[in-house]
Amino acid sequence: MILSSLPHEIQSDVAKRIATMDRTSPEVLREVERVLEKKLSTISSEDFTAAGGVESIVEILNMVDRSTEKTIVESLEEDDPELAEEIKKRMFVFEDIVLLDDRAIQKVLREVDTAELAKALKSVDSEVQDKIFRNMSKRASTLLKEDMDYMGPIRLKDVEEAQQRIVAIIRKLEEQGEIVVARAGEEELVV
């Protein structure tokens, strides 16, 4: 919410600073706590030794509306392409597929190779698998389950790469307006 309400010119700068911040000294954090406590009169007494980092900005960007996210990511792409790519890779994880509606999943499935999908589903929990199977014909889901069984053990790296390729398809479909990925701060209007 705070990131969305900042002026557009500084949103990406704040996002970059959060993403590139790793650790800070407890003394600095105590000073920040003291100032915030003085200004806000409410502060947690937790020990804040780890702050920022790519995961932090990914969590924040996953909660902002799409236009704020897009503005920040585009600006980061110009300023620091490697950081922008790292953030984009982590924004929508494969397990988030359960957040898509059935129609969106069906569109994604039309774009995904079955062997790739079988690999990607190898290490996910049953909730994700069930969501995928429910959006396939009975015959297709049976064949996919058989492919997964016959596949045997697969390196985790290969599974993660297959998942990342499917996430890239999801992001492409979202950018083309084919599907909608629900985000916090956005109201979905149905007409």
Cross-strand partners of 23? 50
Contact yes or no for 53/15 (Cβ under 8 A): no
Structure tokens at 9: 């010119």
Pick the range with the lowest mean pLDDT from 11-15, 79-83, 97-101. Answer: 11-15
User: For the chain, first and last CA: distance in Å?
Assistant: 27
Please report the pLDDT score of residue 126 as a whole number.
92
**Pure H helices in the chain:** 2-5, 8-20, 26-40, 54-63, 66-79, 81-91, 102-111, 114-120, 126-134, 138-151, 156-175
| Helical pair 8-20 and 66-79, crossing angle rounded to 10 deg | 70
Cross-strand partners of 176? none
How far apart, in Å, are the Cα atoms of 69 and each of 11, 60, 85, 172? 9, 9, 13, 15
Rounded to two decimals, the pTM is 0.59
Pick the range with the lowest mean pLDDT from 33-47, 72-86, 91-105, 136-150. Answer: 33-47
Q: Quote the CA–CA distance of 182 and 31 in Å, as a whole number.
A: 38
- Residue 18: how many other CB atoms lie within 10 Å: 20
Please report the pLDDT score of residue 66 as a whole number.
65
Pick the range with the lowest mean pLDDT from 19-28, 41-50, 120-129, 134-143. Answer: 41-50
* Arithmetic mean of pLDDT, 47-54: 65
User: pLDDT class for 191, splitting at 50, 70, 90?
Assistant: very low
- For tokens 């902002």, the residue is 64
Residue that wins the pLDDT comparison between 61 and 132:
132
Contact yes or no for 102/134 (Cβ under 8 A): yes
**Tens digits of residue pLDDT in 90-144:** 777 788 899 899 999 999 999 999 999 999 998 899 999 999 999 999 999 999 9
- Residue 48: how many other CB atoms lie within 10 Å: 14
Cross-strand partners of 99? none
Please give the helix or strand (H or E) that residue 24 lies within, else none: none
Residue that wins the pLDDT comparison between 15 and 24:
15
Please report the pLDDT score of residue 116 as a whole number.
94
Count of CA atoms in the C-beta half-sphere (13 A) of 71? 17
